[in-house]
Amino acid sequence: MLCLRASALRGGIPCSIPSSIDEEMDTDLRGSSNYHFPVYFDDGKTWICRIRRQHVLAPTLAMQKLNILIEGEVAALRFLSGIGIPVPHVHDFSLHLSDDPVGIGYILLDMLEGRLGPLQWSNVDETSKKTHFPSQLAGICVKLSQYPFRSTGCFHSTKAEVDALGTLNSIQIADLHADGSLSLIVPFDTTEAYLRALFNRHLELILGGKAYETAGADAYLFHLHLLNNIPAIVNHLKGDHTEFYLCHIDDWGDHILVDDDYNITGINITDWEWAQTVPWSIAFAARFFLPERTKYIFGDNALYEDELLFANAFEAKGEL
């Protein structure tokens, strides 16, 4: 049924899906929470079908949660495409528990060319390539900075509008109400209110034994310290504290595709279902793949060479 749907969307051009996905798909491009199936058309075009992994006995509530993620991802990709960010075009999608003949929630998108840039970028020796990549990445961030939202939150509608934001979808800060329904953090229109809700939620999860099970006391004291110092934290943050910007939120760089010259060819599909709007200083902070992770984990908080390249690229743009 999926091939019939894809073919119909392209005016009847026949297509096929390989029977052995493992042999066809590069594991680096899959992510860990979704199945990706290539859809090959007879005219040489390739799409990707993205299906969220789920348990066969998942309750209706969990399926509704998956639908929120699908809608949010479609909206995020459409928003990014609309402002000129090179993301795959969304051709079609369907939600779980719908009457769609395919029988499962999915997203059909273009397949982008390129390889994962940040995974090899730190080993590049050529100066031109070393500086070219962060300059382009900074340009994308500058573009995103030109489109502020009025509150924190995630898209809960495929319309991708500034007033279509809803609760935060992050699994790490989700809880359950007494009746078993999901308890998610609602949108806030100030940085202080957002941080207060975020830190309080972490404290609740720690007390309930749902987070930091092996270091609960330390984690509780850390988040309590953050909660008690919110005014100082907000004063330290740059930007208007009533404006928020769309952010990938899990930016390890495994969604950035480049060619051999380290031109960014596209922003891949991985993890955009978690995209949310956040304060300026969070949205445009150094990406996770920039610090030297081993040194950083063991307490070295100095700026690293790659972070400085990224900062210099921002400065050269003259807009941030």
The CA-CA-CA angle for residues 288, 289, 295, to 5°, reads: 90
**Integer Rg of the chain from CA:** 21
Amino acid at site 239: G
Query: Using an 8 Å Cβ cutoff, are 70 and 90 in contact?
Result: no
What stretch of H or E contains 269? none
Q: What distance in Å separates the CA atoms of residue 223 and residue 279, rounded to the nearest whole number?
A: 19
Q: Which backbone phi and psi does 279 adopt, to 5 degrees? A: -60, 155
DSSP per residue, 90-124: EEEEE-TTS--TT-S-EEEEEPPP-EEHHHHHTT-
Q: What is the pLDDT of residue 235?
A: 94
pLDDT of residue 128: 67
> What is the per-residue DSSP string for 299-319?
T--SPPHHHHHHHHHHHHHT-
Report whether 118 contacts 253 (CB < 8 A).
Answer: yes
DSSP 33-85: SEEEEEEEETTS-EEEEEEE---TT--HHHHHHHHHHHHHHHHHHHHHHHTT-
* Domain spans of the chain, in order of start: 2-113, 116-317
* pLDDT tens-digit readout, 75-88: 999 999 999 998 99
Find out whether 245 and 275 touch, Cβ atoms under 8 Å.
no
CATH of 116-317, one of 3.90.1200, 3.10.290, 1.10.3470, 3.90.120: 3.90.1200
Task: Return the residue matching tokens 């007494």.
Answer: 178
pLDDT tens, position by position, 273-283: 778 999 999 99
pLDDT for res 189: 95
List, for the chain, all residue ranges whose pLDDT scores fall below the cut of 70. Answer: 20-32, 55-64, 117-126, 128-129, 158-164, 171, 252-254, 269-271, 319-320
pLDDT of residue 269: 58
What pLDDT shows up at residue 314?
A: 85
Domain 2-113 sits in CATH at: 3.30.200.20
Evaluate whether 271 touches 77 at the Cβ level (below 8 Å). no
Q: The whole model's pTM is what?
A: 0.85
Per-residue pLDDT at 22: 55
CA–CA gap between residue 122 and residue 141 (Å, rounded): 20
pLDDT for position 164? 66
> What are the b/e assignments for 192-231, b being 16+ CB within 10 Å?
bbbbbbbbebbbebbeeeebbeeeeeebbeebeebbeebe
